[in-house]
Structure 1
Amino acid sequence: MALAMVARDLDAAIAGDVAKRLVLYARRPGHQSQFSPVLNAQVKGDSPFAELIGWIHSNLDAPLDVPSLAARACLSERSFHRRFVAATGETPARFVETARLDTARMLLTRGLSLKSVAAQVGLFPPARLTEAFERRFGIKSRLFRDMHAAL
């Protein structure tokens, strides 16, 4: 609620900076990212991709390649890629992968099966999820689930 007041009274970018500074750990435990790409994208409150970013997070199981996203944004692939990077600081592919892996990490803490998680986040078959998860977080998805699901 306090961040909403800061955003209303001052600016969404300032509220985003405050949110980043309120992170208590210098390095988060549990293989967690320090800052959320979603938060970083929301910091730019006037981002022309705010609606698309919300749609991406609601449709992680859908094909989310540049041609599909560019068509959804009514832009050519080249213009979409360039503008998306300018607005978010990440390529569309990296942004989508991060969104999928962050959601997968959250679902794995609930003890869901790798097959179920892989299907929900669009990284199917489960081997694809395992490979991407280990590449990003340095730990196998099954081991992460087993370590965190019991907590």
Structure 2
Amino acid sequence: MQQPRVVFVLFDDFQALDFVGPHEVFRGTGHYDCRVVATRARPVRTDSGLLIAAEHRLDEVDPATVDTLVVVGGPGVDAAARDPVLVEWIRSTASHARRVTSVCTGAFLLAAAGVLNGRRVTTHWAFAEQLSQEYPAVIVDSEPIFVRDGQVWSSAGVTSGIDMALALVEEDRGRQVALTIARYLVMFLRRPGGQTQFSTALWRAQPATDPIRAVVSAIHADPGARHSIDDLAARAGLSPRHLQRRFTAELGTAPAAYVEQVRVEAAQRDLLDGDSVEQIARRCGFGTAESLRRAFHRRLGVAPSDYRDRFRSVGTPY
């Protein structure tokens, strides 16, 4: 039986991890025929100076034989998007392939080929606004780790290409195969497509003093624990009023709001694992399913059940 062909498109100054991560996922299954192409068959230099052998020229790969197209990103993507031969080959291949994918700023190359018009896509958060401005026909969502819109998949920055590739493998070969590959790659966290590119620990300002650091660490270590203002104040060695003032000044948000955001993120992860909303609400510190639903509506604008249905349909890495 012929293996599905996965073709990786490289160009000078591409990001090595955009290619190597997904390539290792697909090759690790033993199920795919992986090919590496560039405008000319030669070693292609990454943005960090590594040389990767592109074993095939574009004209050596028939677009009609491609099952999954993977377009990587990197600093060289702007020059690549001005290469008419490369752009036309991507356009032609995308019209034949079962799936078309991009990693990081590879979305710019797909956009240049007209593949993303009218589609919802993601890219690295630092380039989302630029993608939206340069290609107004593309619907850019800078939040998710990866997005599926029909047969077009796109992923955020760098390592998120691994998450997307695992989801593609799960779609083709099932959850257990994807799990096996994830374990082999020593993937520590399962990241569903709907997970934001930023966790609370990243998008908030960082604590400036040891008492507030201790409080923040405790919240992230166990979101479901008791984190009342009195409990947090005792951990910080401050009065509740003093903690409230210090915490808000250092992080830009009140302690209660911070705790709720961390708990919502924990619930987002758990919702992909099959437990009931009631179980997740208790485990993540909300107490009741109704409290969890209210927090979800406040933070995300959707119900927990709708969130689960939406992102389970995309697939999870394992």
Common fold: TM-score over 0.5: yes
Matched, 1:44 2:159: no
- Structure 2 CA distance, aligned partners of 1:71 and 1:109? 34
The answer to whether structure 1 residue 23 and structure 2 residue 125 are counterparts is yes
Give the match for residue 118 of structure 1.
Answer: 281
The structural deviation recorded for 1:60 is 1.8
User: Can you give the 5+ residue segments of structure 2 that lack an aligned partner in the other structure?
Assistant: 1-123, 130-141, 145-192
> 3-state DSSP class of the match of 2:125?
coil
What does the per-residue CA deviation read over 1:109-149, in whole Å, with 9 as the maximum and x for residues that have no partner? 23332122111111121111112111211111011112212
Higher normalized helix content (fraction of residues): 1
Distance 1:64 1:39 in 2: 20
CA RMSD of aligned residues (A): 2.3
Q: Percent identity?
A: 33
Compare relative contact order (CA 8 Å, sep 6+) and give the higher one, 1 or 2: 1
Quick check: 1:147 aligned with 2:310? Answer: yes
Amino acid of the structure 2 residue aligned with 1:28? E
> Which consecutive residues of structure 1, in runs of 5 or more, have no partner in the other structure?
1-21
Contact 1:31/1:137 (8 A) holds in 2:
no
Q: State the partner residue of 1:83.
A: 246
- How high is the TM-score relative to the length of structure 1? 0.73
Partner amino acid for 2:125? V
| Whole-angstrom CA distance in 2 between matches of 1:134 and 1:40 | 20
* Cα distance in 1 for residues equivalent to 2:311 and 2:194: 11
Structure with greater strand share of residues: 2
Give the structure-2-normalised TM-score. Answer: 0.37
**What residue number does 1:134 align with?**
297
- Matched with 2:237 is 74
